Amino acid sequence: MTIVWPTSVAMGGSSQPETSEESTDSFYETAVLSSEDAKRWYIPHWNITNDSLLDDGFSCRTLVDRVAPPDFFSALRNKDYDQLFAEFNVGAARQICLGSEVRFRAEHELELKEKLRGKYDARGVLLRENDAEIARLKSLLEEKETESAEVLRLRDQVSVLAADKSLLSAEVSALKNVVSQKDTDISLLGFRASISCPP
């Protein structure tokens, strides 16, 4: 909220000023002020604060005198009733139209906000579902990688065992040859022994 106020503002809480000093400065400052802080500012020229109740005639008269331009009341006295009534009706109609437009825009903004909130919530749910699916797929991938590592390890073991088997098969066939050679030697020795020693 941007507020323009005289530089000589003081804090006040009632409809009466805290000090009787009037500011003679004509220099104004512009500042950003929260609505809660703005309610506490007191403008000495007006003798009221922003949250005053205007509970006495002095405060009401001061407000009207300060808000209305100086020649406002004399201009009102010089107008005839019909002209004043017509201007009042035009002003009231403009105010009603402005109020309706503001209400329409506020309702439109609220509807748009609700739509955007619905889209945000839907996308949030979709993102959470996607995150859950990604986590599930990552765990599945880790399981598959573990399984593939195990398969590779087992293949290496099979190839090692196949090489060991071929070596052992060669040793077995060599030992069979040695055994058959020994059997042949034994049978030959037995035959010689039976020839050399008759019964």
The pLDDT tens digits along the chain (199 residues) read 444 444 434 444 444 444 444 444 444 444 555 666 655 555 555 566 666 666 677 777 776 666 666 677 677 777 788 887 888 889 899 999 999 999 999 999 999 999 999 999 999 999 999 999 999 999 999 999 999 999 999 999 999 999 999 999 999 999 999 999 988 888 888 777 777 766 5
pLDDT for position 83 = 81
pLDDT at 21 (0 to 100)? 46
Helix (H) or strand (E) holding 2: strand 2-6
* Calpha distance 66→167 (Å, rounded): 114
Report yes or no: 28 and 5 within 8 Å, Cβ to Cβ: yes
pTM of the model: 0.36
Nearest to 9 by CA among 35, 46, 64: 46
Burial class (CB within 10 angstroms; exposed 0-12, middle 13-18, buried 19+) of 27: exposed
Which of 75, 8, 72, 1 lies closest to 38, judged by CA? 1
Q: What integer pLDDT is reported at residue 9 of this predicted model?
A: 40
Predicted local distance difference test score (pLDDT) of residue 146: 93
DSSP 157-179: HHHHHHHHHHHHHHHHHHHHHHH
* 3-class secondary structure, 28: strand
Distance CA 27, CA 6 (A): 6
Q: How far apart are CA 112 and CA 120, in angstroms?
A: 12
Determine the pLDDT at residue 77: 74
- In the chain, the amino acid numbered 106 is A
Lookup: tokens for 76? 């009102």
Q: What distance in Å separates the CA atoms of residue 39 and residue 49, rounded to the nearest whole number?
A: 7
Domain parsing of the chain, residue ranges:
2-77, 79-153
